[in-house]
Structure 1
Amino acid sequence: MSTTDATPAVLGCGSLAEAGAPPEEPRVQVLTARDVPLGGPRAMTVRRTLPQRARTLIGAWCFADHYGPDDVADSGGMDVAPHPHTGLQTVSWLFSGEIEHRDSMGNHTLVRPGELNLMTGGHGISHSEVSTARTTILHGVQLWVALPEEHRRTSRDFQHYVPAVISLDGGEARVFLGSLAGDTSPVRTFTPLLGAELTIAPHVTVTLTVDARLEHGLLIDSGDVRAAGTPLRPAELGYLGTGAGTLTLANEADTAARMLLLGGPPFDEQIVMWWNFIGRSHEEIAEAREAWQNGSDRFGAVEGYAGNRLPAPALPKATMRPRGNPSEGTR
């Protein structure tokens, strides 16, 4: 998915490891989403929880758009024209609906509920995303993962994976990245990551064993969930730092709760994110923008999309500089 803002914010992203001894009960930082239109006269609106001022990364996860459930007859659905990416991986995950993916590697595939599509745009890739005519209700998330320094210029790649449904005591898990609940995804990533869809039955509490070396984010799709004792509502993202080996989740609603659990070790690199590019300096971002505007082979071409590709917005007048997450004392 693209950020289609005409004047996108300059975002520097980094992660600061939690200091001191880990608490017995993990603290949860509650992050609220902001509504962002994707452009056009019938703009599809997404709820963006990453990045934001309070937190820019969770592990290497640096971008989270949560959308729907939208009736496409009213919203117009998703129609994101060909656009570029550098320095990141895109993770597409649906709860309902269907999206047609085309990219400059020649991949033409569908994103369906419960199926992972992961695209690597290291040195450069481009793609389009369009909800299909069969879609009536569109509902899902689009996530980005920052690539570490040693791999951020890697070649283009695309992976598709259908995770198994893992039974929990009072719920289910679909592990699309990393390991959880005895299941491990075979999908390749460039830093350790966790990505899983969880569902919890009404008025049920589930305790999960998690990797204490990872920080975690819990994005609530539906239900009233209490995570490590902190209430989270739909569209909120709860952040938990490193140090806890278990995570207790209680669904306090009368209906099933659904959420995404994301995790990764603190990402200790400083990066700049602007529009659809991740780099390390203003000059890198400007170079990538110029290459896209000039039709460089760096990003290739997307075949089969009925329309023009997205032009890049103008660069900000100020020099873009990397920065990290706020310290504990400034939140």
Structure 2
Amino acid sequence: MSNLEREPREIRCGAGAADEREVLTGREVPLGGPRAMLVSRTLPHKHRRMIGAWCFVDAYGPQVATMRVPPHPHTGLQTVSWLVEGEVLHRDSIGSLQEIRPGQLNLMTAGRGISHSEESPQTTLHGVQLWVALPDAHRQVAPGFEHHPELPGLAGPGFRARVIMGTLGGVTSPATAYSPLVGAELDVEGEAEVPVEPGFEHGLLLFDGEVAGAERGALVYLPPGRTSIRLAGRGRVLLIGGEPFGEEIVMWWNFVGRSHEEVAAYRKEWMEGEGFGVVEGFDGEPLPAPVLPGTRLKPRGRVR
């Protein structure tokens, strides 16, 4: 999924720390124009830019809508597409063509550069789009795409989990990850204590139902230092987390880089039709890049 804002703000990410629980309220962003579907963006947030290597969280639905995101570029990140309801078709410049349905994972690694599109028929859509920043040692990897129709599960008193990315409670997803992290969908019924890595920071996003510990329309941030997360109620929750990301990055529009010059070069390549390949089969023009801000983009800390 693309950041379709016409005047995207500089997103400041990198090293930093926090000592207490934070509630990161989402802001509404139209996806594809004023008549398109709305998403709730909780990362990057004005107070916190990352949770582990997770640097972007757009939640949407449930709403009857048509998703139509034209071909657009990415660098230095992975896109993680997860649905609760609906269907979305992914196309990319390395020839991938893959529909995703609830309970399945589409994972695209941009690496040094890729472009893709996403579209759906008019239907009820409910899901989340996430980005994972690639560490410097891996951000120039060749672009790739993975579809995982089945993912491993974990169960305990009061909960069942599907492990989307990384490892939870000793259960590891087959999806490729380049830093220590976790992404999981939790089905909570009653009182639950979900095991987590004490060195990870975590975020909780309520998909549906009522679950104490998670909040509707917000991402709840939990700092490192706990071995479990307690939840109570009935509903579905997204759990993300990871080791605090120790690198400073420049994140602007759909690019993750390390300097103003690098991001400006990515933008130039995209506008000149070089370096990102061609998405075949999409009925429409590629998405033009916004104009760069008048000030220099700088590597920043991951908390404000």
Q: What TM-score comes out, normalization by structure 2 length?
A: 0.96
1:17 Cα shift? 4.0
RMSD: 1.4
Please, which of 220, 224, 231 is the counterpart of residue 210 of structure 2? 224
Indicate yes or no: 2:10 matched with 1:10: yes
Check the 8 A contact 2:50/2:303 in 1, yes or no: no
1:128-207 equivalence runs, <5 A = 128-131=117-120, 133=121, 136-161=123-148, 162-201=150-189, 204-207=190-193
Q: State the secondary structure of the residue aligned to 1:286.
A: helix
CA contact 2:61–2:127 (8 Å) conserved in 1? yes
Report how far residue 243 of structure 1 moved.
Answer: 1.2
Q: Secondary structure at the match of 1:292?
A: helix
Task: For residue 323 of structure 1, report the CA deviation from its aligned partner.
Answer: 1.1
CA contact (8 A) 2:52 2:201 kept: yes
Instruction: Compare the two structures and name the one with the higher strand fraction.
Output: 2
Deviation at 1:130, TM superposition (A): 0.1
Partner residue of 1:293 out of 263, 271, 277 = 271
Contact residue 57 and residue 131 of structure 2 kept, 8 A: yes
How much does 1:238 deviate?
0.8
Farther off after superposition, 180-189 or 4-13: 180-189
> Structure 1 15/150 Cα, relative in aligned 2: closer, same or farther at 3 Å?
same
**Equivalent residue letter for 1:106:** G
CA deviation after TM superposition for structure 1 residue 41, in Å: 4.4
Provide structure 2 residue ranges, at least 5 long, that are not aligned to the other structure: none
- Secondary structure of 2:89 counterpart: strand
Opposite residue 124 of structure 2, the aligned amino acid is I
Which of residues 36, 39, 43 is equivalent to 1:46?
Answer: 39
Contact 2:17 2:303 in 1 (8 A): no
Q: What is aligned with 2:197?
A: 211
For the residue of structure 1 that corresponds to 2:137, the secondary structure is helix
- Please tell me the residue identity of whatever aligns with 2:302: N
| Contact 1:178–1:184 under 8 Å retained in 2 | yes
Residues 1:206 and 1:195: Cα distance change in structure 2 (over 3 Å): same
Q: CA deviation at 1:181?
A: 3.7
Q: Residue 240 of structure 1 corresponds to which residue in structure 2?
A: 222
Match of 1:275 in 2: 253
Q: Kindly state the Cα deviation for residue 71 of structure 1 after the two structures are TM-superposed.
A: 1.1
Aligned-partner Cα distance in 2 for 1:237–1:70? 20
Note if contact 2:153-2:171 (Cα within 8 Å) is conserved in structure 1. Answer: no
Say if 1:30 and 1:238, in contact at 8 Å, map to a contact too.
yes
3-state SS in 1 of match to 2:78? strand
Distance 1:165 1:235 in 2: 26
Aligned partner letter, 1:268: G
Residue number in structure 1 paired with 2:60? 67
Q: Distance in 2 between matches of 1:187 and 1:325?
A: 25
- Are the counterparts in 2 of residues 35 and 47 from structure 1 also a CA contact under 8 Å? yes
- The separation in 2 between residues aligned to 1:221 and 1:178, in whole angstroms, is 20
Unaligned 5+ segments in structure 1 are 20-26
Secondary structure of the equivalent of 1:149?
coil
Aligned to 1:23: none
8 Å CA contact 1:15–1:58 kept in 2: the answer is: no
1:51-81: CA deviation from partner (whole Å, max 9, x where unpaired): 0111000000000000000112xxxx11000
Please say if 1:93 is aligned against 2:86: no
Q: Deviations over 1:91-114 (max 9, x none)?
A: 000000000000001000011101
Contact 1:210 1:245 in 2 (8 A): yes
CA contact (8 A) 2:248 2:302 kept: no
1:18 CA drift (Å): 5.2
Q: CA deviation at 1:122?
A: 1.0
Specify the SS of the correspondent of 2:102: coil
**TM-score when normalising by structure 1:** 0.88
